[in-house]
Structure formats: C-alpha cells, structure tokens
Amino acid sequence: MRNLVPVFIIGIVMLLLLNACNKESVTTTSTGGSYSMKFIYNDTTASFNTCTVSTVIEGNVPSEVLISGFTTTNNKITGKSFELDLVADIDSLKAGQVFPAATTINQLHSSTLYFFPDSLRTYTTQVAKPIGSVTITSVTSSEIKGTFNGGLYGWQDEYAEILDYNISGGTFVARR
C-alpha cells in the first residue's frame, strides 16, 4: 500500500497539470517570452516560452498554487515541462515568501517541484530528502514572479536514494 501512495499522488498532479495546461493553452497565444520559466538542470539550460498559474482547491485539503512552465508552438504544448506546486492560498502570496521543499504531503507553506523531461518520465522533490525551495519575488493581479532550485528524484524513488536532477538558477514570470 505504501508504494501506491506516491503513484497516486503523481497521477493526480499529472492530471491537474495536463488539465491546467490544456485550459491555458487553448486561450493563450505565444507569450513571446513575457511569461516564461528558465532553469539549469545538470549543467543544461531549459527555457519555456509559456508560464501559467492555476489553483487547486479540494475539500479539506489545503489550497495549492500550480506554476507550470512549458513550450507552446502554434498553441500546442511541445516537449518537456516543469511545475512548481505551492501549498498555499493564491491570495496569500506575497513578495519575499519562501516555500521550502515539503517534508510531508500537503504541508502548508511548502513546495514540490516536478520535471517532465518527456511524456514517460517524472522527477520530483521527495519528502524523504527534501532539497530546494521556491521564493516569490513579486505578486500583482496579472503575474507572479519568483526563483527556485531543488534536487529531483524519480517519482518512484520515495526513499530518495538516487538524485537524478540538480535544478539551479530557476526563474519564472507566470501569468495569473
């Protein structure tokens, strides 16, 4: 049963990411870099031309803010994507807030980072060895800006035994 919990959580997050991306990509044209996400992973630079914000509110579970970076070409998502999941109410976000990597599932004021290098693999921060954080640098009615970094493990590596990706120098400007 313990092994099914991470699979279930990742499945839900992927469903929410795809659902949020589909909603945004239908109505959003290429942003030309004004809403974007960039970071370095294992000495390789990643850059996305679209970055959006969505919120998730489910019953008694704390609210989540999902900041998703991806590349769109002709209004279609292509290639890899990245997501920052903040356990907080979007209306409470303010400049200077730091969301450390979660040490428990649904931990208030924490973050979880997800990297989808292709459609088959998912890498994430793990509560067994939480590495990283997200810092909010600016919040307006139309966008959220910030920085991030972290250590990512395969989504099935719940004990965080093999560090697959070191994420550094992450920045985002996300459309609300």
Given this model, what pLDDT does residue 75 score?
85
Closest Cα partner for 41 from 150, 134, 158, 147?
150
Per residue in 75-133, pLDDT (tens digit) is 888 899 999 999 999 999 999 999 999 999 989 999 999 999 999 999 999 999 999 99
What's the pLDDT band for 61 if we cut at 50, 70, 90?
Answer: confident
pTM, to two decimals:
0.80
> Which pLDDT belongs to residue 60?
77
Judge contact between 133 and 111, C-beta under 8 A. yes
Instruction: Average the pLDDT over each of 25-39, 47-61, 72-86, 128-142 and give the range with the smallest value.
Output: 25-39
Predicted confidence (pLDDT) at residue 9 exceeds the cutoff of 50? no
Q: Which two tokens stand for residue 62?
A: 């704390």
Task: Name the DSSP letter for residue 16.
Answer: H
Pairing of strands 61-73, 50-58: antiparallel
CA distance 147 to 38: 9
Task: Report the percent of the chain where pLDDT is more than 70.
Answer: 81
The pLDDT assigned to 62 comes to 78
Tell me what pLDDT residue 48 has. Answer: 96
Q: How do strand 111-116 and strand 76-87 relate by DSSP bridges?
A: antiparallel
User: 57 pLDDT band (50/70/90 cuts)?
Assistant: confident
Q: Is the pLDDT of residue 21 over 90?
A: no
- For range 69-73, the mean pLDDT: 93
3-state helix, strand, coil in the chain (%, to 5): 15, 50, 30
Give residue 141's pLDDT band: very low, low, confident or very high (50, 70, 90).
very high
- Residue 37: strand pairing partners: 48, 172
